[in-house]
Structure 1
Amino acid sequence: MGIKAGNQLEMVTARIEGKPDWSEHWFSLTCGPRLVKGGKVWLSPLSEGFKDSHVLGVGSRTAIGFPASRGKLFLVTFLDSLSLEAEAKVMQAIGCLEAMNLDGGASVGLAHQGQVLLPPGRNLTNVLVVYDRKYRAPAQLKESWERFQKGYRPSPDPSVFFD
């Protein structure tokens, strides 16, 4: 999933549709398997390279998706165990045109206003941070977004870029 200039959301199943042009994304998130594509439940985890029984079985899950308007992002955490199919149907039911599974279980934590409401079950190396009107994004982050909107595209450092 990526956010392009103009807040355009894009979701690509890279192993099936081919890799997107990462330089077009200000932000991108690799995850999976894909749950909803074009508004329909779309599950093909094995063709996407997912083989782990924790992913393919029943478990607590987190998903990300967006509606046809592409005007919002849905980030949903399921604390009760469910299958990928059940997760996909929920994401479709809340109006997602596109949706993907994220890591769940011990990888899920939730903090709000500086308080940890749900501690993760393990140390996390990545987090999604959501800013709002009350808790605004740092100036440096806003400046990065504005530069991207104006056409600035940094060249990735090959020593830290993973493809």
Structure 2
Amino acid sequence: MKFEKTGLEGCFIIEPTVFEDNRGYFMETFSQREFEANIGRVNFVQDNQSHSKRGVVRALHYQVGDAAQAKLVRVLQGRVLDVAVDLRKDSLTFGEHIAVELSETNKKQIFIPRGFAHGFVALSETAEFFYKCDNFYDKNAEAGIIYSDPDLKIDWVLSESDITLSLKDAALPLLKNARLS
């Protein structure tokens, strides 16, 4: 596996080594030993998976306090634009983001540490999205930021008319009004 640092401290793009032949392919998607050697110790305790239609934005979500979560995210089928926003108040990159296309073809993963908001938009007709979390979901600690916050300057690639949001995500606040702790 190749671990590539991003411009946001602690956030990595991970590319697995893929072995392909006439039967298909094989890849190791997670190795605790390699993960610890390149990123550090993380104890994943929960796996989640979602299915989205083209244009669905699931963003920008996070949990606060002791329920904060680090995530290892990837796409099983389709393509998404994946976004991580640094919400660590003491970080030099607070409010900055990375946006990376994840797909079944490129097989890239992103490790998003605690203290980040996370979201994605489905770019293909459908997308199966999978992620590991290092903390259990806690409804009382959930928080979010509206995906279209102008201060974040995130290019979601699709036009506004192609975006589909849940009612809950459409009502999320701007970063300047968001619950950060």
TM-score (normalizing by structure 2): 0.29
Structure with higher RCO (Cα < 8 A, 6+ apart): 2
Q: Which has the higher strand share?
A: 2
Q: Which has the higher helix share?
A: 1
